[in-house]
């Protein structure tokens, strides 16, 4: 329905009379963000044959953000852009959905969640009947890509540009746009030894935009960028079966504004559906500390193994670490065993890295509140008992993190009674140190007083 309105607003006479000009891409530069977004800059070259002509682009990605599309001359004196407008595909997404009503479809949602069923309605939201007979509604903004019984999602969007120039001949221009479906994430392989560890950092690039990018200069942006301006316009991504590629190069992180960028020194072709892994760095001999940790906020009923190390040059590291997945391994008796996975936050140089390996099998915990009472209008007291049980053959030390948010942010807190030593880890966090004997238990008791 929206496309029919479009045809009423665009002058049909102009479309019929305009000449579509052939253009070539002579340079591609891509800035890839961690939030499933990329900024593409393409240098174009074309031949202008009259003072008023039209360029038609048929190679734009299906997942392009329309509001971000720009086209302008490298030399402002060469020509003027009069208008940019989209051209509906002859067999667009609406027609494809209509053709597949009553047929099996597969929708892949954000996070890799797959939803299969029979398509009942192709509008927004999509209606499908799942295998158990239930009807499910899927908002288009949450759909990453689709598989149809008949046909494939359109490979790209058509856009046209009307030009006006005082002269003819060879012209150069720049085409810019944001696109979904081109993304990167940092991956880290950590191998643990008795007192030290080694780490390898890789960048995984993935293209699901529906477009191939040939010999592109690529930079990877690390940091949390505000993307609210493009959240309202999300494209649908098409996936192709292309094998993964591995590359090893030297990449130096550089500071850009409030973010870090990893500029790849070589040009790469990133084809639709392709996953490419690029080596970033490696470091060995990094000293780390292993601890057993109980966290009252995030896992109140568990004790987990935590390793920590300092990200600085004295510890043979010392570089910005982009947020990403971490795989932790331990090698014993010729076997390499995965001992845990975690997610690393953006970590600047000089900061401590903490990684969780998993729940400790033979350490258990029971936490309960024993008192909660007001002391006048401006004070409140709480008491807790935390029992740790150790089934190991040796004594252990457990770090117990407690959080103090009562009447926050106006309140102040202080520990008035405790059975163990503690230190302040953050404004509202205390870390208690509890020594638990072998095959025994130990109770941590403390009282906190709030005032405001």
Residue 75 tokens, joined: 């030399």
- The residue length of the chain stands at 452
Q: What is the mean pLDDT of the chain?
A: 83
Please tell me the chain's helix, strand, coil percentages from 3-state DSSP, rounded to the nearest 5. 10, 60, 30
**131 has pLDDT over 90:** no
**Residues 183, 34 contacting (CB under 8 angstroms):** yes
Average pLDDT over residues 138-163: 70
- In this prediction, residues 427-435 reach a mean pLDDT of 96
List C-alpha distances in Å: 365 to 5, 166, 357, 394, 450: 64, 80, 17, 17, 26
What percentage of the chain reaches a pLDDT higher than 90?
A: 52
Q: What pLDDT, on a 0 to 100 scale, did the predictor assign at position 132?
A: 85
How large is the average pLDDT for residues 360-374? 96
Nearest to 270 by CA among 214, 204, 219, 218: 214
Per-residue pLDDT reduced to its tens digit, 171-184? 999 999 999 999 99
Phi–psi pair at 125, nearest 5 degrees:
-80, 160
Residue 177: its pLDDT value, please?
95
Q: Where do the DSSP E strands lie in 126-243?
A: 126-129, 135-138, 143-148, 156-164, 169-179, 182-192, 196-207, 213-222
Q: Which of 4-18, 37-51, 104-118, 152-166 has the highest mean pLDDT?
A: 37-51
Place 254 in a pLDDT band, splitting at 50, 70 and 90. Answer: low
Pick from 20-29, 377-386, 422-431: least confident = 20-29
pLDDT at 125: 84
- Assess whether pLDDT exceeds 60 at residue 4: no
Of residues 151 and 355, more confidence is placed in 355
Would you call 250 helix, strand, or coil by DSSP? coil
| Arithmetic mean of pLDDT, 165-171 | 87
Mean local confidence (pLDDT), 437-450? 97
SS3 at position 15: helix
pLDDT (0 to 100) of residue 88: 61
The yes-or-no verdict on residue 97 having pLDDT over 90 is no
Predicted confidence at residue 314, as pLDDT, reads 95
Higher pLDDT, 13 or 102: 102
For residues 24-40, give the mean pLDDT.
91
At 70, the pLDDT band (50, 70, 90 cuts) reads very high
Mean pLDDT of 341-356: 93
Contact 274, 246 (CB under 8 A): no
- With CA atoms as reference, report the closest residue to 74 among 179, 216, 175, 215: 175
């Amino acid at each position: 329905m929206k496309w029919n309105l479009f045809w009423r607003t665009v002058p049909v006479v102009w479309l019929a009379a305009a000449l579509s000009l052939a253009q070539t891409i002579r340079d591609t530069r891509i800035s890839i963000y961690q939030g499933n977004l990329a900024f593409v800059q393409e240098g174009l070259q074309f031949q202008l044959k009259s003072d008023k002509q039209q360029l038609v682009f048929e190679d734009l990605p299906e997942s392009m953000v329309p509001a971000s599309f720009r086209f302008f001359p490298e030399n402002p004196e060469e020509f003027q852009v009069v208008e940019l407008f989209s051209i509906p595909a002859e067999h667009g997404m609406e027609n494809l959905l209509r053709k597949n009503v009553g047929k099996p479809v597969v929708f892949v949602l954000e996070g890799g969640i797959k939803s299969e069923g029979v398509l009942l309605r192709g509008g927004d939201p999509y209606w499908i009947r799942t295998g158990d007979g239930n009807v499910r509604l899927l908002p288009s903004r949450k759909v990453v890509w689709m598989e149809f019984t008949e046909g494939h999602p359109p490979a790209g969007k058509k856009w046209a540009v009307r030009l006006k120039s005082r002269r003819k001949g060879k012209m150069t221009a720049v085409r810019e746009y944001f696109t979904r479906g081109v993304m990167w994430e940092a991956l880290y392989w950590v191998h643990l030894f008795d007192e030290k560890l080694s780490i390898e950092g890789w960048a995984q690039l993935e293209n699901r935009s529906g477009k191939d990018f040939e010999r592109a200069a690529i930079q990877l942006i690390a940091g949390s960028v505000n993307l609210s301006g493009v959240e309202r316009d999300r494209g649908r991504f098409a996936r192709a079966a292309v094998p993964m590629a591995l590359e090893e190069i030297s990449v130096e992180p550089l500071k850009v504004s409030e973010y870090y960028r990893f500029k790849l020194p070589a040009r790469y072709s990133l084809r639709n559906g392709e996953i490419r892994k690029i080596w970033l760095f490696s470091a060995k001999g990094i000293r780390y500390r292993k601890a057993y940790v109980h966290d009252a906020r995030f896992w109140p009923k568990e004790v987990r193994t935590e390793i920590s190390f300092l990200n600085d040059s004295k510890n043979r590291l010392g570089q910005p670490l982009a947020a990403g997945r971490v795989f932790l391994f331990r090698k014993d008796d010729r076997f390499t065993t995965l001992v845990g996975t975690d997610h690393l936050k953006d970590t600047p140089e000089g900061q401590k890295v903490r990684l969780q390996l998993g729940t400790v099998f033979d350490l258990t915990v029971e936490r309960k509140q024993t008192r909660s009472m007001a002391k006048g209008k401006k004070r409140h007291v709480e008491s807790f008992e935390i029992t740790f049980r150790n089934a190991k053959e040796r004594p252990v030390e457990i770090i117990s993190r407690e959080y103090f948010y009562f009447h926050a942010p106006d309140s102040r807190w202080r520990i008035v009674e405790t059975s163990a030593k503690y230190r302040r880890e953050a404004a509202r966090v205390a870390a208690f140190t509890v020594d638990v004997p072998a095959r025994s238990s130990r109770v941590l008791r403390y009282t906190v007083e709030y005032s405001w």
